[in-house]
Amino acid sequence: MAVTRFFSCVGVTHRPCVLIALGFCLGIVLERFIPVPVWGWPAILSAVFIGALVPYWRRKSFGILLACACVCAGAAALRSYTALADNHISRFIGLPAGGELMLKCRVVSEVENKQTARQVRVKFTAEAMELTAGGVSRRVCGRVLVTVFRAAEVAEGSELLLSGNLRAPSSFGGRGRLSYTETLSSQKIRAAFNVKKRGLCKTLNNRGVFFLPAWGRFCRWWLNEVYARYLSPGEAGLMQGLITGERSGITEHVKEIFLRSGTSHILAVSGMNVAMVAYGIFFVLSLLPVPRTVRMLAAVVLTAWYAYVAGSSSPVVRSAVMSSVFLLSYVLEREQETLNTLAIAVLAIVVVNPTQLFDVGFQLSFIGVLSLILISPLIVGLFPEGKQARFWNEYLGVSIAAFLGTTGIVAYYFGTITPVSLLANIPAVPLVALITALGAILLIFSGIPFFASVVAVALKTALNLFVGILYLFTLIPGGFFYLDMIPSLWQALMYYFLLLSLIWFTHHKVRIHPVWAIGL
Amino acid sequence: MWPFTDQERQAALFLVFVLIAGISIKLIFFIAPPAQASLRVLDDARYRPKININRAGYNELITVPHLGPSSAAKIIHYREARQRIRNPAELAYLLKKKPRTVRVLSGYFQWL
């Protein structure tokens, strides 16, 4: 009875996906922090299943059984994702070679050519195939991050023979809790192979790439090329960041402006971009004589394509899944529920890659949306009502909710707090919407130079106005500061516990004694 | 008259507005070329938000390129002993860095 009441309280009885996602994520967290033997999870699941057969429990036990099954599934997913094969390349790090190692591998990522004043570097991810050390060859598997410290002709999909040294990826020390090694590890990269200036980098054969990734790369290249043609390098870099998520072209001072005005989320392709793309596609298709269902399905497919072109990071996949579920709910004539949709998006990401649960981008994206769903209506309710005021109340409510929701994570990972973001986001969000729309128009007119140059001037003005306004916000004293001591995990969790308590009390209109309120 | 929907009409109006705005701005740049210099925020590194060298904490100082933990600690100790760093020359004396490096560093700081 108590369990049923608990489930109905948290709203999972009519939101099954929320229960499944919560259980799955709990399983991943338990597996990461509490070492359970291999037989542990099946044993727990069997015990709960046997318990469910007892007549007294039968009616009430379905929810518990489902939750336990999800927990076990989450734990199993993380274990299988992080398990290493016996011949995994990372097991040969520190091998006494008695000379250089030879690695045969296949390039599986885009090849990044980086040229600095001192050196040229070619960087890519490869699937290891064969490792030769001290005259002994062995078949190996697993991904490896390859860096060639000279100019080299490398194409995606080609098989290479490299000579160099194998090591664990460097964890670049810095402030905050972000770890480069963990980021690589979540991409299944546990080893790095360096080819020095005189090292061997020979292409054995080139099988090419499957046409879908090739088309994705071509689309990204075309988008970047159009902006580079009509805008200055700084402007083109920012546009590429906003539309395709390619951040390498954004200048350092612009990154600093975004960081200090608390608007860095704009540089990540996320919900707003995907929503605008979905709306744009739907709008263009609505001009054609096609049935509504076909339009919606086409919008789903093209949104997924945009998410792929934009790099498939957690925020963009989350928003693509949410918008697809939203559109499909109309096609299937099903009622749509925001929390359920968010839970489906969580599942879509963590089932494919369970380590994404510990990724800062994933956490910021989902907690941001969750705070918009849970906190924003409560804040709007605190303001005075009125037809004119309603728009501003909602706008301010969204900004405050996003700030409250993400502050804990930002402080935990980056050790910064940005109160000015509450103000900076108010002009920033509509300006970015305008800039995205202008960017889309520039792409449409890119084939007609006169119109394209006219739109490009409007876009340049909007971009400079936008960054100029953000720069003014960075001048406000106390708008951004570094914490002297980065909060611990328990402090961050305590912050979210207090935030949830306040949401709970406000939602249930519980009157708190002033002393308790001050204490909270 | 074609049966345009409200959304289509709004989209067409927006497009016309963008074209008129673009042509107007182009005309302004044609009449007064110096106005074009105002569109340099994204390409001009002078618009970098500056860090107050006399107030920044250790965690903020180590975010500056060319400043490691030991340099940040030196700045903090110097501030504690002599209250403030007044100019790039004082910073150069303190950190014992090359003039070129100090010139780059001073671009990140304000000396209030």
Partner-chain contact A457 B7, CB within 8 Å? no
More confident: A15 or A459? A459
Check residues A46 and A81 and name the one with the higher pLDDT: A81
Nearest CA-CA partner of A384 in A373, A392, A375, A376: A392
Quickly tell me which residue has 């980021």 as its tokens. A183
Q: Which of A175, A287, A441 sits opposite B15 (nearest CB)?
A: A441
% of chain A beyond a pLDDT of 90: 15
Over residues A46-65, the mean pLDDT reads 68
Q: Which residue in B has a C-alpha nearest to residue A255's C-alpha?
A: B48
Give the ipTM of the model, two decimals please. Answer: 0.82
- From A8-12, A41-45, A400-404, B75-79, the region with the lowest mean pLDDT: A8-12
User: Nearest residue of A to residue B7 by CA position?
Assistant: A283
| pLDDT tens digits for range A57-80 | 556 666 777 778 888 888 888 888
Structure-token match 């996320």, residue found: A270
Separation CA A28–CA A358 (nearest Å): 10
Is residue A125 a contact partner of residue A144, using CB atoms and an 8 Å limit? yes
**pLDDT at residue B52, rounded to an integer:** 85
CB-based burial of residue A316 (10 Å sphere; 0-12 exposed, 13-18 middle, 19+ buried)?
A: buried
Q: Which of A42-51, A55-64, A305-314 has the lowest mean pLDDT?
A: A55-64
B23, pLDDT greater than 90: yes
In this structure, are residues A424 and A473 in contact, taking their beta carbons and an 8 Å threshold? yes
Please state whether beta strands A136-139 and A158-167 pair in parallel, antiparallel, or not at all (unpaired).
Answer: unpaired
For residues A311 and A269, the answer to whether their CB atoms sit within 8 Å is: yes
Name which of B38, B48, B59 is nearest A253 (Cβ-Cβ).
B48
pLDDT value of position A2: 47
Residue A511's pLDDT band, with cuts at 50, 70 and 90, is low
The predicted structure's pLDDT at residue A470: 93
Q: Chain B contacts of A486, Cβ < 8 Å? A: 59
Contacts of B21 in chain A (CB under 8 A): 458, 461
Residue A176 is predicted with a pLDDT of 62
The whole-angstrom separation of Cα A454 and Cα A230 is: 10
Q: Is the pLDDT of residue A466 over 90?
A: yes
Cα distance between residue A241 and residue A245, in whole Å: 4
> Rounded mean pLDDT of A178-182?
79
How many other C-beta atoms lie within 10 A of the C-beta of residue B26? 15
In this complex, which of B11, B42, B59 lies closest to A415 when CB atoms are compared? Answer: B59
Strand partners, A105: A128, A160
Instruction: Provide the pLDDT for residue B18.
Output: 92
pLDDT at res. B45:
81
The predicted-structure confidence for A337-395, as pLDDT tens digits, reads as follows: 888 888 988 998 899 989 989 888 888 888 988 888 888 888 877 777 766 667 777 77
Q: Which of A57-61, A164-168, B64-68 has the lowest mean pLDDT?
A: A57-61
Contact by Cβ (8 Å): A119, A67: no
Q: Please state the φ and ψ torsions of residue A240, each to the nearest 5 degrees.
A: -60, -40
Taking the C-alpha atoms of residue A404 and residue A496, their distance in angstroms, rounded to an integer, is 9
* pLDDT reported for residue A514: 65
Indicate the range of A245-249, A421-425, B89-93 predicted with least confidence: A245-249
Residues A88-98 have a mean pLDDT of 78
Distance CA A424, CA A474 (A): 9
Interface of B with A (CB under 8 A): 5, 7-8, 11, 14-15, 18-19, 21-23, 25-26, 29, 38-43, 45, 47-49, 56-60, 62-63
Give the rounded distance of the alpha carbon of A204 from its chain centre.
Answer: 35
Please say if the pLDDT value at position A1 is more than 60.
no
Distance CA A136, CA A215 (A): 40
Higher-confidence residue: B50 or A41? Answer: B50
Amino acid found at A154: V
pLDDT for position A519: 62
CB B48 within 8 Å of CB A253: yes
Residue in chain B nearest A235 by alpha carbon: B42
Find which of A178, A252, A413, A457 to mutate to test the B interface (most B CBs within 10 Å of its CB): A457
Contact check, Cβ <8 Å, A175/B62? yes
Alpha carbon A388 to its chain's center: 36
Q: How far is B92 from chain A (nearest CA, A)?
A: 23
Question: Chain A residue closest to B108 (CA)?
Answer: A253
C-alpha span between A369 and A402 (Å, rounded): 8
> Which of A306, A327, A326 is CA-nearest to residue A316?
A306
Q: Say whether pLDDT at A455 is over 90.
A: yes
| Residue A380 Cα to chain centre, angstroms | 28
Which of A240, A204, A216 is closest to A436 using CA atoms?
A240
- Report CB contact under 8 Å: A484, B59: yes
What CA–CA distance (Å, rounded) separates A298 from A416?
A: 42
Mean pLDDT score across all residues of chain A? 83
CB contact (8 A) between residue A235 and residue B22: no
- Which residues on B lie below 8 Å from A457 (Cβ)? 22, 25-26, 29
Interval A101-152: pLDDT, tens: 889 999 988 888 887 767 788 999 999 999 988 778 889 999 999 999 888 8
> Judging by beta carbons within 10 Å of its beta carbon (0-12, 13-18, 19+), is residue A483 exposed, middle or buried?
middle
Q: For the beta carbon of residue A99, count every other beta carbon within 10 angstroms.
A: 10
Highest mean pLDDT among A33-42, A433-442, A501-510, B102-111: A433-442
Would you state the structure tokens that stand for residue A488, as one six-digit string? 């611990």
The region of weakest confidence among A33-47, A289-303, A453-467, B18-32 is: A33-47
Minimal CA separation from B36 to chain A, in Å: 10
Write out the E strands in A312-465: 416-417
Task: Say which residue, B94 or A3, is predicted with more confidence.
Answer: B94
> Which single residue is written with the structure tokens 């960087």?
A123
Q: Average pLDDT in the A397-418 region?
A: 87
Give me the pLDDT at residue A173, please.
57
Q: Which residues of A touch B11 (CB under 8 A)?
A: 283
Nearest neighbour of B47 by CB, restricted to A253, A451, A454: A253
Q: Alpha carbon of A510 to those of A27, A305, A377, A383, A385: distances in Å?
A: 33, 47, 17, 19, 22
